[in-house]
Amino acid sequence: MARSTAVIDYRGRFAFDVPPEAIWSSIEHAERFESWWAWLAEFRLEGPGLVAGAVLHGVVSPPVPYTMRIRVVLDRCTRPALIDATVHGDLEGTAHLVLEPTDKGTLAEVSWTVEMRQRPMRLAARVAHPFMRWGHDRVVEATVLGYRRHLAAEHGRDNRTTS
């Protein structure tokens, strides 16, 4: 059976030249996310930090004509190595982050499977799936680029490592 065009499966691996602990420490500052990523608004963390049970709320505005309200429940968090989460709202699914130490810093592996729930988004995905995927992939690229800039500024490093 073919998978719905409203479902986005993503897997990516990105190298960073700082250790996993440095990445974890920086992502604990959720209050800074909106300044790092222009596509994110109304972002807030509900809970005592990156721990199981904490909830992230926000609005995602990719470079296509729609916005999505999401709620991300942190299901499992193991500092500084792992986050498993469930996504709710205009997107429904699961997301994962694994941080592995390397000789040069960290390999970050991210993955998610989410289904677009808004009727207009589902319709657009049916008729313009490549365009929707393009918008998704531009948000991922902007996220990694913005995060590398943040890490470089925070740690005084180049951080232009390619994915």
135 in any annotated domain = yes
Is position 162 within any domain? no
The angle subtended at Cα 34 by Cα 98 and Cα 89, nearest 5°, is 70
Q: What CATH number should be reported for the domain holding residue 34?
A: 3.30.530.20
Supply the range of the domain harboring residue 53. Answer: 7-155
For the beta carbon of residue 127, count every other beta carbon within 10 angstroms: 9
Asked if residue 161 belongs to a domain, the reply is no
Residue 1 lies in a domain: no
Does residue 160 lie within any of the structural domains?
A: no
Tens digit of each residue's pLDDT, the chain (163 residues): 557 889 999 999 999 999 999 999 999 999 998 988 888 999 999 999 999 999 999 999 877 777 899 999 999 999 999 999 999 999 999 999 999 999 999 999 999 999 999 888 888 888 888 888 888 888 898 889 889 988 989 887 654 444 4
**Does 2 reside within a domain?**
no
At position 83, the amino acid (one-letter code) is: I
Domain tally, the chain? 1
